[in-house]
């Protein structure tokens, strides 16, 4: 498995498990049966960290729409290099940091983590286009 596919898989796995903390919060707030029922979906979350965790999860999921095709394009085109592997690792760790920082509620650091991930995607795309 290439490094790019490894980091893509790690990012997808991160997105796949990020629902757990805020759903556990829902269970704590509403109880298990209300959370499992349809009525819990419309209930407003009380804890700000859980609201931020849910938003960070949605943001990471949206980011996969950009990251996955780029990582797969590197794989398909055979353009894998130390640069592309590093960019994919940077993207993963930037997004992991973003989730943690956003959930904790550190505004400026959150934006820096997000921007780091986005810059890595831009450089990855430029590499695929032969510009970098």
pLDDT along the chain (132 residues), means of 10: 96 96 87 77 78 94 97 96 98 98 96 98 97 90
Domain count, the chain: 1
Residue at 7 is within a domain: yes
Task: Tell how far CA 45 is from the center of its chain.
Answer: 21
- Report how far residue 80's alpha carbon sits from residue 32's, in angstroms, rounded to the nearest whole number: 46
Residue at 99 is within a domain: yes
**How much is the pLDDT for 12?**
98
- Report how far residue 49's alpha carbon sits from residue 47's, in angstroms, rounded to the nearest whole number: 5
Residue-range definition of the domain harbouring residue 59? 3-18+46-128
**How much is the pLDDT for 39?**
63
**How much is the pLDDT for 41?**
61
CATH number at residue 115: 1.20.120.550
Q: Using an 8 Å Cβ cutoff, are 60 and 54 in contact? A: no
Task: Tell how far CA 11 is from the center of its chain.
Answer: 6
Chain position carrying tokens 């505004």: 107
């Amino acid at each position: 498995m290439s490094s790019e596919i490894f980091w893509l898989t790690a990012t997808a796995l991160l997105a796949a498990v990020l629902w757990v903390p805020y759903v556990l919060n829902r269970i704590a707030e509403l109880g298990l049966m209300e959370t499992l029922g349809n009525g819990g979906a419309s209930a407003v979350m009380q804890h700000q960290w859980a609201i931020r965790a849910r938003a960070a999860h949605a943001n990471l999921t949206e980011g996969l729409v950009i990251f996955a095709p780029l990582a797969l394009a590197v794989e398909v085109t055979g353009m894998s290099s130390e640069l592309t592997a590093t960019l994919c690792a940077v993207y993963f760790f930037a997004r992991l940091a973003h989730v943690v920082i956003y959930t904790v509620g550190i505004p400026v650091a959150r934006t820096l983590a997000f921007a780091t991930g986005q810059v890595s995607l831009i450089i990855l795309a430029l590499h695929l286009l032969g510009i970098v």
